[in-house]
Amino acid sequence: MTPLTRKIQQASGILVQGILALAAVTFLIGWLRGNSANEMFMAVIALAVEAIPEGLPAAVTITLAIGVGRMARRRAINRRLPAVETLGNTTVICSGKTGTLTEIQMTVREIYAGGDSFQVSGIG
């Protein structure tokens, strides 16, 4: 999963929880005011369905497509839209001695973070 899809999934979970909480409060208030449970149930379902944004997937896809277009103008090759977002969040790119990106095995030996230096061992 890319960072964007994780954030969208988290936001969707919070949104659904909020919608369910508001639906429960709406149902309770309506029922306490004397409306029938059946009538309030139908109203709450209608409100919950309307509260879910339909355009979110389309907006994300369009945004990623714009990113692909920008990368194509710079002669970057990319086959998948989510990869654009992942590349956009990249802060460090490791390359070999020829300057090309590699998938073979590069190993980090030392990390500088927060003013401290950390030695790292391992393979790959």
What SS3 state is found at 39? helix
pLDDT in tens, 2-58: 777 788 788 888 988 999 999 999 999 999 999 999 999 999 999 888 887 777 778
pTM tops 0.75: no
Write down the pLDDT at residue 85. 66
Q: Are the C-beta atoms of 3 and 90 separated by less than 8 Å? A: no
Q: From CA 57, how far away is CA 63, in angstroms rounded?
A: 10
CB 3 within 8 A of CB 85: yes
Q: How far apart are CA 80 and CA 69, in angstroms?
A: 12
Tokens for 48, please give them. Answer: 């919950």
